């Protein structure tokens, strides 16, 4: 069934000013049109920003614990509808159902966490150097946020941004990906039902260049949170800089798993399969480079190729499916282009390498799980984000060389090391230049109570999601207050005994 969705502005579901709609397709079966979404324009953005500004006056003064209660109710509702929403995630963007359910669970976890944060939002108090004076720093909201999200975590990523922005007292205009707009709508409906006042959260769907850029450049926007590709994120950073707006960008990755010669290879194999082929490789933290010590390289490669051969491709709603489709035709073409580039560069294609189109697979955007060996670090397939089920295996001859390879791209999001040596694990933790480092685990598996963000070209360098040091620090501003109750002019630094 196709659902026609609207924009959500000032507490009402409305049609776009253009009257035009785009289509969101099920990537496992492209004749299944999941939703018709508004192709919005500047006029819709203006109205949404105006509604957010109006609502901000009341929302910023709503006690944070009360804001938290709304999020708590949303958490309960998300949990109650987890099964339905998980299936929608799978239908709209293709990941296998257990991952679709995980997407929703992440939103549940975050909603509970941020509901609790409503009773903390902790600042600091310190003694003053002067008598009869006290000082403190408090958190205050920024104002209206533009929240721009990708399609690959269509419930989780919007939740990271929305719940964190709202608990801090901001209002927001949310621009979801056109590849997963129905998931976004369901999330907003839940917040509406949980009691969010009109205008606190607005949704405007449409094409990124028009809706996203209009939002980022809008005079009524006070801060921007973007997750998506490097090309778009870097452009938005420069637009925001001209207006002195705080912006957080979480972008791509070229994540590596390092396997030492003392590693538990069975454990590492599970981690590589999960990191490389989970979500069909369409995670910012996907493991697309596997750096293997020469002592175990050949054995591990054989284990990996044999295991990848057994992965079953298909619709993520089917129990037997391990790997779902790519998101759209553009994604499919990009991945097939990289496979061609890898062959031209001289990497050895161990397995896969083509579109999978037998039987019902022809209805969707499926690519065979693909493994290249004999990959050298300067090849494009070892340097650029592919965003598909393509894994490059790179040989290394020492821990030091392995770390150099892991660090040798412009990205710095996630990395992992498999080793039985506690000292090497500790050194890896120190030397690897990524925002997330895993020891004896895959490159994916972040938890919501800790900051999540990339180094180098993977992000703006200050995580905007996860925990207090990530989300709360980004979505609130610090105001420092000095209160002098001495009744006379006291001069700091000057009145020294």
Active site residues: 250, 284
CB count within 10 Å of CB 129 equals 12
| Cβ–Cβ under 8 Å, residues 405 and 377 | yes
Q: How far is the CB of 451 from ligand NAD (least distance, A)?
A: 11
Residues in the chain: 497
Residues 433-452 that bind ligand NAD (CB under 6 A): none
Nearer to ligand NAD among residue 176 and residue 402 (C-beta):
176
Residue 175 touching ligand NAD (CB under 6 A): yes
Under rule CB under 6 A, how many of the chain's residues touch ligand NAD?
30
Which spans in 346-419 are helix H? Answer: 380-383, 399-407
Residue 284 touching ligand NAD (CB under 6 A): yes
| Cβ–Cβ under 8 Å, residues 175 and 480 | no
Residue 117 touching ligand NAD (CB under 6 A): no
DSSP letter string over 149-184? --SSSTTHHHHHHHHHHHHTT-EEEEE--TTSHHHH
Residues contacting residue 406 through CB under 8 Å, at least 6 positions apart: 256, 258, 289, 291, 415, 432, 434
Residue 149 touching ligand NAD (CB under 6 A): yes
Q: How far is CA 372 from CA 25, 58, 339, 443, 459, in A?
A: 31, 56, 9, 19, 27
> Which range of residues in 48-56, 142-150, 185-193, 257-265 is near ligand NAD by CB under 6 A?
142-150
SS3 category, 223: strand
Bridge partners (DSSP) of residue 88 are none
Residue 141 touching ligand NAD (CB under 6 A): no
Measured distance CA(87)–CA(454) in Å, rounded: 29
Residue 250 touching ligand NAD (CB under 6 A): yes
Which residue among 55, 172, 194, 251 contacts ligand NAD (CB under 6 A)?
251
Nearer to ligand NAD among residue 118 and residue 331 (C-beta):
331
Nearer to ligand NAD among residue 169 and residue 253 (C-beta):
253
Residues 186-215 that bind ligand NAD (CB under 6 A): 208-209, 212-213
Residue 325 touching ligand NAD (CB under 6 A): no
Nearer to ligand NAD among residue 141 and residue 454 (C-beta):
454
Residue 45 touching ligand NAD (CB under 6 A): no
Q: Which residues would be at the binding site for ligand NAD (CB under 6 A)?
A: 148-153, 175, 177-178, 208-209, 212-213, 227-229, 232, 235-236, 250-253, 284, 385, 387, 413, 454, 458-459
């Amino acid at each position: 069934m196709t659902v026609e969705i609207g924009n959500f502005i000032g507490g009402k579901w409305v049609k776009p000013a253009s009257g035009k709609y785009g289509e969101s397709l099920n990537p496992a079966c492209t004749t299944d049109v999941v939703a018709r979404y508004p192709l919005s324009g500047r006029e819709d953005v203006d109205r949404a920003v105006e509604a957010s500004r109006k609502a901000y006056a009341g929302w910023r003064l709503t006690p944070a614990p009360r804001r938290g209660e709304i999020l708590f109710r949303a958490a309960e509702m998300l949990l109650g509808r987890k099964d339905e929403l998980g299936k929608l995630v799978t239908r709209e963007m293709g990941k296998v159902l257990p991952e679709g359910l995980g997407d929703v669970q992440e939103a549940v976890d975050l909603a509970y966490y941020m509901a609790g944060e409503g009773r903390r939002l902790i600042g600091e108090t310190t003694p003053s150097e002067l008598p009869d004076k006290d000082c403190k720093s408090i958190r205050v909201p920024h104002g209206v946020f533009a929240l721009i999200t990708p399609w690959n975590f269509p419930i989780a990523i919007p939740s990271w941004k929305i719940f964190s922005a709202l608990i801090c007292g901001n209002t927001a205009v949310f621009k979801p990906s056109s590849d997963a707009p129905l998931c976004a709508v369901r999330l907003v409906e839940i917040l509406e039902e949980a009691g969010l006042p009109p205008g606190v959260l607005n949704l405007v769907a449409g094409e990124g260049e028009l809706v996203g850029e209009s939002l980022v450049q809008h005079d009524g926007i006070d801060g921007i949170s973007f997750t998506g590709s490097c090309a778009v994120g870097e452009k938005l950073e420069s637009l925001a800089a001209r207006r002195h707006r705080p912006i957080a960008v979480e972008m791509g990755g070229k994540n590596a798993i390092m396997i030492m010669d003392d590693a538990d290879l069975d454990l590492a194999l599970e981690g590589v399969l999960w990191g490389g082929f989970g979500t069909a490789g369409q995670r910012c933290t996907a493991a697309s480079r596997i750096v293997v010590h020469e002592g175990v390289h050949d054995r591990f490669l054989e284990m990996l190729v044999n295991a990848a051969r057994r992965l079953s491709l298909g619709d993520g709603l089917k129990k037997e499916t391990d790997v779902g489709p790519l998101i759209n035709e553009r994604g499919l073409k990009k991945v097939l282009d990289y496979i061609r580039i890898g062959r031209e560069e001289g990497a050895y294609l161990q397995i896969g390498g083509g579109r999978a189109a037998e039987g019902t697979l022809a209805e969707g955007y499926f690519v065979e799980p693909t493994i290249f060996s004999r990959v050298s670090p300067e090849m494009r397939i070892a340097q650029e984000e592919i965003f598909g089920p393509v894994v490059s295996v790179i040989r290394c001859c020492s821990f030091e060389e392995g770390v150099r390879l892991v660090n040798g791209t412009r990205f710095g999001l996630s990395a992992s090391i498999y080793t039985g040596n506690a000292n090497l694990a500790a050194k890896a933790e120190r030397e690897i230049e990524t925002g997330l480092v895993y020891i004896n685990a895959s490159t994916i598996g972040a938890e919501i109570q800790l900051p999540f963000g990339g180094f180098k070209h993977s992000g703006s360098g200050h995580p905007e999601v996860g925990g207090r040091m990530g989300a709360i620090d980004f979505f609130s501003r610090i105001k420092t207050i000095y209160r002098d109750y001495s009744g006379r002019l006291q001069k700091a630094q000057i009145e020294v005994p």
